[in-house]
């Protein structure tokens, strides 16, 4: 007993001497509050909005295919742009229900394969591959199949393949809706409860699933697909590939990317509630220069957002063709944030990436 | 000299074989169980079939990953031989097979290095030379001539010494500034468990991390000596159970706690082990000592085994200190880090971006690590310079195959160590293809700068 007492005294003395004065302050952070906020105030509303927008989109598709004309096309395009924007907001949560539906890949694999889509229409078959469906396929079908709007309407009116094309358009929207509704239904069912209650930091915990999912989407889509690959700076390529930009036919790349980065900042900060930034703040995590880590991350993300905002309004592929530098710069800014997110943040939260055994004692 | 002789004599005192026999049964059983668990979790597939690339150990590049059938075969051999060890069936052959198959698998991929696997390799190697099958085994049942009641004392002490080294060196490793005076990495790790009942409340405070750090160090340093002492042993063993169950509860460390809890039973008196075997006799009707055993020549004369063991333990004692020969901070460079019982010692995370330059055209592009590595491999590689170098050379080969005649590979990498905040890790101006792995210091690792 005496020994234990000595030990405690020793420990108190040591922690008193140590450089941080916070030794006696408690870290009060309830993961449940974080998950509840993320689940009910961010994730569920994001899917709910997406489901609504896609339902509207389906209606617009039906109206347009019934009477293809200029007014219906304009309305359909609006609904399409709204849905695509809603997707950007929901796109980060690729775990649990979304990964069960393989959502991200099946609704937003780009660049779409226009040639195969044309062939499918010719053969009157439904989409065979992820690159023949989803939003990017709609982008082509609503903006890219002909030079101007009148010709596009023609393609759905008097063209020899008009009926096939309508069928194809419908089958794309049906698949899109099915997967999105499937994901939402699972969240609305029991998954929200599962998400909120799986505390801890092991590979199956909500924290690990969530953080790994948003970071992986951030890297794969926001950083690589939207900027790195078109600018030719990422992943095994030598030349810029401007035609790889998202939404190339509707020339909407910038707006979509802006929604992407804005959403990611909202997720990190937990919108108006508790977010990862609050968790880091409570833990008192510092970057190597002594700044609080959450501030460092937010300022880095805001830098990226500003760079995206400052992109010219000309189509992104044109921007890259004339000078890839501003796009490459966005990539590098986003990458710097990855270092903080993947290294400093995951370390501070001690998130595990696999179920494998660690080193025992 | 006289003292030395006396010592040798003491080591050769005949003692009961019972502790060694019980250890054999426990060890074989736990190994078999670990293998079943490993397969059950699907790790044979995810660790030895899924990866497209494996990180070799320096000097063991000749260890090739077997194909799917081959790896299942290896695990099959490993499982059957562990059961062979447990039952004492073709014991020498079984223990040799177990050691070889287990160690081979461990050598396939450095990613999966764990001190506890190293421990298993060592113990299973020692077991080959120990006559643990000379009682209460299928071998002795079939061939009563090998039945033995007594063995030289050092054969039991060898196992105790190995266990003692694991603890004591794990304790020495904890005697560093971060562990003792910053309570790192426990300060980070315990905070992740504030949601746990009862203890979670305590984990909210830094002082708990200090308490755990210090008691962990004290435990590791003193437990071998406490277990040797007859009077203190019962308390010591309670501490063993409590300590390992606590670590099991908090950290994903698999079977290791159980292996240690059961292995340390060897410290108990002969009478304890004989009681266990007596009880076992009631269930299994095996031959007992009575029949006088004629000495059958063992595989190697005891003396030679004794010398081999002495060499082994000398290496064990010296090897963990090799890090002294390297400059800079051990936890940062990890030069001389492995095979030294440094367990649960550092929290490290990193991010490495490999950039290929085509020297002929000057063009640059990045590599997607995930195209070649599993998430776990990528994570381990990002913080360990030798793995970064190995991967760079692998990429060099890939690039040449893809038609780039003169590739250069550089890495931009950042690492955070015990909450230091991420900082540059590898000199990004160095073409890693021009560097070779060796036991020399890697000059392209940037020094760890402490800003605070």
Number of A–B residue contacts, CB under 8 Å: 188
Which residues in chain B are closer than 8 Å to A17, comparing Cβ atoms? Answer: 181
pLDDT tier for residue A24 given thresholds of 50, 70 and 90: low
- For residue range A155-193, what is the model confidence (pLDDT) as tens digits? 999 999 999 999 999 999 999 999 999 999 999 999 999
Residues of A in contact with B206 (CB under 8 A): 15, 20, 22-25
SS in 3 state form for chain B?
CHHHHHHHHHHHCEEECHHHHHHHHHHHHHHHHHHHHHHHCCHHHHHHCCCCCCCCCCCCCCCCCCCHHHHHHHHHHHHHHHHHHHHCCCHHHHHHHHHHHHHHHHHHCHHHCCHHHHHHHHHHHHHHHCCCCCCCCHHHHHCHHHCCCEEEHHHHHHHHHHHHHHHHHHHHHHCCHHHHHCCCCHHHHHHCCCCCCCHHHHHCEHHHHHHHHHHHHHHHHHHHHHHHCCCCHHHHHHHHHHHHHHHHHHCCCCCHHHHHHHHHHHHCCHHHHHHHHHHHHHHCCCCCCCCCCCCCCCCCCHHHHHHHHHHHHHHHHHHHHHHHHCCCCHHHHCCCCCCCCCCCCCCEEEEEEEEEEECCCCEEEECCHHHCCCHHHHHHHHHCHHHHHHHHHHHHHHHHHCCCCCEEEEEEEEEEECCCCCEECECCCCCHHHCCCCCCCCCCECCCCCCC
| The domains spanning A27-198 and A200-356 adopt the same CATH topology | yes
- Give the end of a domain, one of B272, B303, B321: B321
Give me the mean pLDDT over the B264-282 stretch.
94
> For chain A, which residues make up each domain, given as ranges?
27-198, 200-356
Please check whether residues B291 and B366 belong to one and the same domain.
Answer: no
Q: What three-state secondary structure class fits B34?
A: helix
Q: What is the CATH number of domain A27-198?
A: 1.20.1420.20
User: Does any domain span residue B440?
Assistant: no
Among A229, A222, A225, A231, CA closest to A322: A231
Q: What is the model's pLDDT at position A17? A: 47
- Please tell me the distance in Å from B333's CA to the nearest CA on chain A: 17
Question: Which residue segment(s) compose the domain that B55 sits in?
Answer: 12-185+220-321
Going edge to edge, which strands form the sheet with B407-417?
A: B363-366, B348-358, B407-417, B423-424
| pLDDT at res. A14 | 52
Report if residue B415 sits inside a domain. yes
Q: What is the dihedral sign for C-alpha B314, B319, B320, B326?
A: positive
Same structural domain for residues B260 and B372?
no
Q: Which of B287, B321, B355 is where one domain is finished? A: B321
B153 and B17 within one domain: yes
| Mean pLDDT (chain B, rounded) | 93
Please tell me whether residues B76 and B170 are part of one structural domain.
yes
Check A343 against B253: CB less than 8 A apart. no
- Decide: B450 and A286 in contact? Cβ < 8 Å: no
Q: Give, in words, the CATH class of A200-356.
A: mainly alpha
Chain A partners within 8 Å of B215 (Cβ): 7
Asked if residue B233 is part of any domain, the answer here is: yes
* Of A168, A137, A179, A189, the residue nearest A50 (C-alpha): A179
State pLDDT tens for residues A292-328. 999 999 999 999 999 999 999 999 999 999 999 999 9
Q: A165 CB contacts (<8 Å, ≥6 apart)?
A: A121, A141, A145, A155, A156, A159
**B310 and B353 share one domain:** no
B356 is a domain residue: yes
Whether residue B248 lies inside any domain: the answer is: yes
Residue A358 clears pLDDT 80, i.e. is over it = no
- Selecting from A26, A338, A359 the residue whose C-beta is nearest the C-beta of B204 gives A26
A341-346 mean pLDDT: 95
Spell out which residues of chain A touch residue B257, defining contact as CB-CB under 8 Å: 360
Residues B164 and B20 both lie in one domain: yes
| B247 and B366, same domain (yes or no) | no
Q: Using DSSP, state whether B324 is helix, strand or coil.
A: helix
A350 contacts B347? CB cut-off 8 A: yes
Which residue in A12, A290, A349 is closest to B207 by CB distance?
A: A12
Query: Are B452 and A353 an interchain contact pair (Cβ–Cβ within 8 Å)?
Result: no
Mean model confidence pLDDT for chain A: 91
Total tally of structural domains belonging to chain B: 2
A360 to B253: CB separation less than 8 angstroms, yes or no = yes
- For residue A144, the 8-state DSSP code is I
Looking at the fold, whether B179 and B234 belong to one and the same domain comes out as yes
**How confident is the model over B383-413, as pLDDT tens digits?**
999 999 999 999 999 999 999 999 999 999 9
What is the distance, to the nearest Å, from the Cα of residue B321 to the centroid of all Cα atoms in its chain?
17
Q: Shortest CA distance to B345 belongs to which of B360, B330, B327, B359?
A: B330
How confident is the model at residue B165, as a pLDDT?
98
User: Which pLDDT score, from 0 to 100, does residue B362 have?
Assistant: 86
As a whole number, mean pLDDT of residues B194-198 equals 86
Q: Specify if B451 maps to a domain.
A: no
Q: Out of B247, B252, B347, name the one closest to residue A357 (CB).
A: B252
Task: Kindly report which listed range (A83-97, B105-119, B137-151, B332-346) carries the lowest average pLDDT score.
Answer: B137-151
Residue B205 near residue B186 (C-beta atoms within 8 A): no
Q: Specify whether B20 is located in the same domain as B87.
A: yes
Please check whether residues B97 and B241 belong to one and the same domain.
yes
On whether both B313 and B355 belong to a single domain, the answer is no
A356, B252: Cβ pair inside 8 Å? yes
Indicate whether A6 pLDDT > 70: no
Within 10 A of A325 (CB to CB), how many other CB atoms are there? 11
Q: Are residues B413 and B278 in the same domain?
A: no
């Amino acid at each position: 007993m005496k020994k234990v007492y000595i030990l405690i005294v020793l420990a108190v003395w040591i922690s008193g001497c140590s450089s941080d004065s916070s030794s006696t302050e408690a870290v009060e952070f309830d993961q449940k509050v974080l998950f509840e906020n993320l689940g009910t105030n961010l994730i569920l509303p994001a899917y709910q909005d997406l489901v609504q927008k896609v339902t509207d989109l389906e209606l617009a598709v039906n109206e347009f295919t019934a009477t293809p004309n200029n007014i219906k096309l304009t309305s359909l395009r609006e609904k399409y742009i709204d849905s695509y924007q809603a997707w950007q907001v929901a796109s980060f949560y690729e775990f649990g229900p979304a990964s069960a539906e393989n959502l991200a890949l099946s609704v937003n694999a780009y660049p779409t394969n226009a040639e195969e889509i044309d062939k499918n229409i010719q053969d009157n078959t439904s989409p065979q591959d992820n690159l023949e469906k989803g939003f990017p396929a709609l982008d082509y079908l609503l903006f890219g199949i002909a030079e101007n709007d009148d010709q596009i309407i023609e393609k759905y009116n008097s063209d020899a393949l008009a009926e096939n094309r309508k069928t194809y358009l419908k089958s794309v929207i049906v698949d899109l809706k099915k997967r999105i509704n499937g994901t939402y239904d699972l969240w609305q069912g029991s998954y929200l409860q599962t998400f909120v209650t799986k505390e801890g930091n092991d590979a199956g915990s909500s924290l690990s699933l969530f953080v790994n999912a948003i970071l992986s989407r951030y890297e794969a889509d926001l950083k690589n697909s939207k900027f790195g690959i078109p600018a030719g700076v990422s992943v095994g390529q030598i030349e810029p590939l401007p035609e790889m930009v998202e939404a190339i036919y509707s020339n909407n790349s910038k707006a979509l990317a802006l929604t992407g980065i804005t959403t990611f900042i909202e997720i990190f900060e937990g919108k108006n509630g508790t977010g990862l930034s609050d968790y880091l703040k409570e833990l008192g995590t510092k970057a190597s220069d002594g700044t609080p880590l959450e501030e460092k991350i937010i300022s880095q993300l805001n830098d990226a957002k500003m760079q995206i905002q400052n992109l010219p309004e000309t189509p992104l592929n044109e921007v890259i063709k004339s000078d890839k530098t501003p796009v490459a710069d966005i990539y590098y800014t986003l990458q710097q944030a990855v270092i903080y997110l993947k290294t400093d943040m995951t370390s501070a939260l001690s998130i595990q990436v696999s179920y494998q055994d660690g080193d025992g004692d | 000299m006289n003292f030395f002789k006396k010592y040798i004599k003491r080591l050769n005192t005949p003692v009961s074989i019972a502790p060694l026999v019980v250890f054999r049964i426990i060890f074989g059983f736990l190994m078999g169980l670990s293998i079943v668990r490993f397969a059950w979790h699907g790790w044979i597939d995810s660790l030895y079939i899924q990866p497209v690339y494996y990180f070799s150990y320096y000097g063991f590049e000749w260890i090739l990953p077997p194909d799917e059938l081959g790896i299942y075969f290896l695990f099959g051999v490993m499982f059957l031989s562990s059961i062979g060890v447990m039952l004492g069936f073709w014991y020498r052959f079984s223990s040799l097979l177990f050691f070889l198959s287990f160690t081979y698998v461990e050598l396939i991929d450095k990613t999966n290095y764990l001190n506890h696997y190293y421990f298993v390799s060592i113990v299973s190697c020692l077991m080959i030379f120990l006559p643990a099958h000379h009682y209460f085994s299928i071998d002795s049942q079939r061939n009563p001539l090998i039945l033995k009641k007594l063995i030289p004392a050092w054969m039991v002490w060898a196992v105790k010494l190995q266990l003692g080294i694991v603890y004591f060196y794990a304790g020495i490793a904890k005697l560093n500034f971060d562990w003792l005076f910053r309570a790192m990495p426990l300060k980070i790790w315990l905070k992740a468990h504030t949601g746990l009942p009862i203890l979670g409340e305590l984990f909210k405070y830094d002082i708990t991390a200090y308490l755990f750090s210090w008691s962990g160090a004290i435990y590791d340093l003193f437990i071998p000596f406490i277990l040797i002492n007859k009077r203190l042993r019962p308390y010591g063993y309670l501490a063993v159970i409590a300590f390992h169950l606590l670590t099991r509860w908090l950290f994903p460390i698999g079977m290791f706690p159980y292996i240690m809890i059961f292995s340390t039973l060897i410290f108990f008196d002969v009478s304890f082990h004989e009681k266990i075997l007596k009880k076992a006799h009631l269930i299994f009707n095996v031959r007992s000592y009575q029949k006088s055993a004629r000495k059958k020549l063992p595989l190697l004369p005891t003396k030679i085994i004794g010398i081999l063991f002495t060499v082994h333990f000398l290496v064990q004692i010296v090897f963990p200190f090799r890090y002294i020969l390297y400059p800079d901070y051990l936890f940062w460079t990890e030069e001389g880090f492995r095979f030294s019982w440094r367990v649960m010692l550092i929290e490290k995370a990193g991010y490495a971006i490999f950039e290929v330059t085509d020297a002929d055209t000057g063009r640059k592009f990045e590599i997607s690590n995930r195209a070649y590595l599993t998430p776990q491999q990528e994570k381990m590689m990002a913080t360990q310079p030798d793995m970064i170098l190995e991967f760079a050379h692998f990429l060099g080969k890939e690039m040449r195959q893809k038609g780039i005649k003169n590739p250069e590979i550089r890495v931009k990498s950042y690492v955070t160590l015990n909450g230091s905040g991420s900082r540059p890790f590898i000199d990004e101006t160095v073409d890693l293809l021009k560097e070779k792995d060796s036991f020399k210091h890697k000059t392209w690792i940037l020094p760890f700068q402490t800003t605070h």
